[in-house]
Amino acid sequence: MTLYRQLLITMLLLFTLLFVSAYAVQFSSTRNYLAQQQEFMVINTATSLGLALTPYLESEDQLGAESVINAMFDGGYYRTIKLRLLASDMTISRENTAPPQQVPAWFAGLNLFEGGEHSAVLTSGWMQLGELYVQGHTGHAYFQLWQGMSRLLTWFAISFAMVGVLLMMALRHLLRPLYDIEQQAKEIEQQHFGKPIELPLTRELRQVVQAINHMSARLEVQFEEQAEEAERLRKRTFLDHVSGVGNRAWLTTQSQSWLSDNRGGALMLISANVLNLLYKEEGFEARDQMVRVISNHLRQLCRDAGEHVLARISATEFAVLLSETDPALLQQLGDSINRHIAELVKDSGDARELSLVGAVLVQPGDDLGHLLTRADHVLNRARNEKTGVMIESYHQRERLGRLQWKTLVEQALDNNSFELNAQAVMTLAGEPCHDEVFISIRHQDVVYSADHFVPVAEQFELAERLDLHMVTCVLRTLETHPELTLAVNITRQSCHQPGFWRKLEQILARYEPVRNRLLLELPESALAMGWERLMTPLAGLKVKWGIDHFGRHFDLLVHLGKLRPAYVKLDHGYTSQAQQPDYNDAFLAAVCRAAHGMGALTIATRVETAEQVARLKSLHIDAYQGFISPPARLL
């Protein structure tokens, strides 16, 4: 029970005891007063009635005496009036046996009053004339007691309710700093650091709040330093410091993850010959300045082309691994690159002399060495044939054109014909965390994974519709499978559509009982395009989410504490190297520690053997996913 409730209940009990005691005292005093009043009234009545009856008794006027008794009996609250005439031994008696009126029967049955009684002997000189007996009726006393105590109880109840409301408001105000401390402690426990708590006026609480704020600020600085240290290690290992993009080691690491996923795509080599010209004419500084400018242009052009890995692999060459497979679009991208480089030079002359582009499409079974060799041959052909852009042509592995893919995706959305599979994410202790949902389309007895049709869906602006459809399907599945917790991948295009988040919230509102078992998995590339724009919609959803392919983009690690994901899936390019005997795991361990410091679980992907799981235990990784636990059919 909370301190607020304990204090409230204790104080209400004390107020209740106070009210009950006051009510009991008032009840007792009122009852005694009415009993005494009734007794005095009976005595006074007997005295006055005796004086009124004496003349009639002396004259033996029985009728007159009876008239006096009737008048007295009818004008007051008496239960019994008796007069025994001693001379004739006759008795005149009047009785009122009616119960008290306007009073509940249970209240009258409490026997609170006896009514009061008094006897007197009527005399004339020394001669006794008669005996008078008067007993009061309790009805009037019960009525007065009931009315008075009912009104008092009503006022006590109103006062108690008002006191209770004021007490709750006062306790909430006084204990607000304790509530803020509790919330801040929960945030610190999850490695989340918000704004400092406002200092209260209470001296003791003020000191506690100051200590909490100081501790929170120190921990936040420490976790940020961990993230910055991990980012510095990664930049030292994988960043080309002149251009600001990845180096050859970065391309090698990322290509392992890319090619192992059989994602397809293309490798493009860009030879910036203008850099050699600048070096000969103006020296290193001018060349390095041009390298930075060209890198910025390449970064922007490749970002518009979709998922990519950009690296500088030599003094004058850049390499880009792209998800694009359409030769025509690759040709357009190459022309854009040459045009932008030509525009950087005042007297550009022939643009083909300033830069050349050669591209090859990824084939099944390719490795990076083979791709670079083929791309270099294509680049040399472009140089020999004086062609600005050359694309290696061959029969694509995809048997469907883009318009056919578009039609296939639209039909799957209209007919809800997607196939859903789920793959478990397991802790290193063997306990299940959640399951990730993978979608596919079956066409002419061939199953196509999401890597085939998601790029097309993004190109034709079907990604938002696809994501909302899959979230709805998964939520329906969660309704019928209460034991599941499912993660759904969200495309990069949907993440930056404001309407997507509004529609997603509407869908989640319809499935309120199961939304807490839904996880959203965002690609790291979506955050690299502008993580600031995603903080508000993600915080408003009240749904846990994670980052997929974490580690492909620089400078995101230091913002992890602001993003607050529930987990990060490390890019396979990092964890795959961990199996090598001479692998230096300092960087990977730093990344994991920084993620833990920000409250996020770290998950390794593409784990296939028990030996890999054993190796991951020494790298500060929390969970794993891979074909050691293959996907199972969900829908």
pLDDT at residue 581, as a whole number = 62
Mean of pLDDT values over 486-513: 92
Q: What is the CATH number of the domain that holds 325?
A: 3.30.70.270
Alpha helices in 481-552, H assignment, sequence order: 492-495, 498-510, 524-528, 532-541
The whole domain housing 82 covers 3-161
Let me know whether 459 and 608 are in one domain: yes
Q: Regarding beta strands 127-136 and 90-95, do their DSSP bridges make them parallel or antiparallel, or are they unpaired?
A: unpaired
- Quick one: which H or E segment has residue 128? strand 127-136
pLDDT band at 579 (very low <50, low <70, confident <90, very high): low
Let me know whether 313 and 338 are in one domain: yes
- The C-alpha angle with vertex 288 and arms to 286 and 289, in degrees rounded to 5, equals 65
Q: What is the mean pLDDT of the chain?
A: 84
pLDDT in tens, 73-102: 887 678 888 888 887 788 888 888 788 888
pLDDT at residue 194, as a whole number = 62
Residue 348 clears pLDDT 60, i.e. is over it = no
Tokens representing 306?
A: 């979709």
Residue 190 clears pLDDT 70, i.e. is over it = no
324-333, 514-523, 623-632: which has the highest mean pLDDT? 514-523
Spatial separation of the C-alpha atoms in residues 38 and 607, rounded to whole Å: 97
Residue 434 clears pLDDT 90, i.e. is over it = yes
Question: Pick the residue with more confidence: 352 or 369?
Answer: 369
Sign of CA dihedral 617, 619, 620, 622: negative
Does residue 218 form part of some domain? no
Count CB-CB contacts under 10 A for residue 481: 15
Let me know whether 566 and 514 are in one domain: yes
Let me know whether 472 and 568 are in one domain: yes
Spatial separation of the C-alpha atoms in residues 442 and 438, rounded to whole Å: 13
Residue 398 clears pLDDT 60, i.e. is over it = no
Whole-Å CA distances, 194 to 22, 191, 219: 50, 10, 12
Let me know whether 529 and 408 are in one domain: yes
Q: What is the CATH number of the domain that holds 572?
A: 3.20.20.450
Give the residue among 569, 566, 568, 492 at the shortest CA–CA distance from 534: 492
Let me know whether 14 and 135 are in one domain: yes
Domain count for the chain:
3
pLDDT in tens, 99-139: 888 888 888 878 888 778 888 888 887 888 888 898 888 88
pLDDT band at 585 (very low <50, low <70, confident <90, very high): low
Mean of pLDDT values over 26-37: 90
Alpha helices in 385-449, H assignment, sequence order: 402-415
User: What percentage of the chain reaches a pLDDT higher than 70?
Assistant: 92
Listed residues 142, 161, 180: the one ending a domain: 161
Mean of pLDDT values over 294-323: 88
pLDDT band at 393 (very low <50, low <70, confident <90, very high): low
Mean of pLDDT values over 329-349: 83
Does residue 195 form part of some domain? no
Does residue 170 form part of some domain? no
Let me know whether 80 and 36 are in one domain: yes
Give the residue among 114, 117, 151, 161 at the shortest CA–CA distance from 27: 151
pLDDT at residue 351, as a whole number = 46
Mean of pLDDT values over 530-546: 87
pTM higher than 0.95: no
Does residue 203 form part of some domain? no
Listed residues 115, 144, 161: the one ending a domain: 161
Let me know whether 305 and 360 are in one domain: yes
**N- to C-terminal Cα separation, the chain:** 44
Does residue 178 form part of some domain? no
pLDDT at residue 397, as a whole number = 47
Residue 395 clears pLDDT 60, i.e. is over it = no
Q: What is the SS3 string spanning 201-223?
A: CCHHHHHHHHHHHHHHHHHHHHH
**Helix, coil or strand: residue 444:** coil
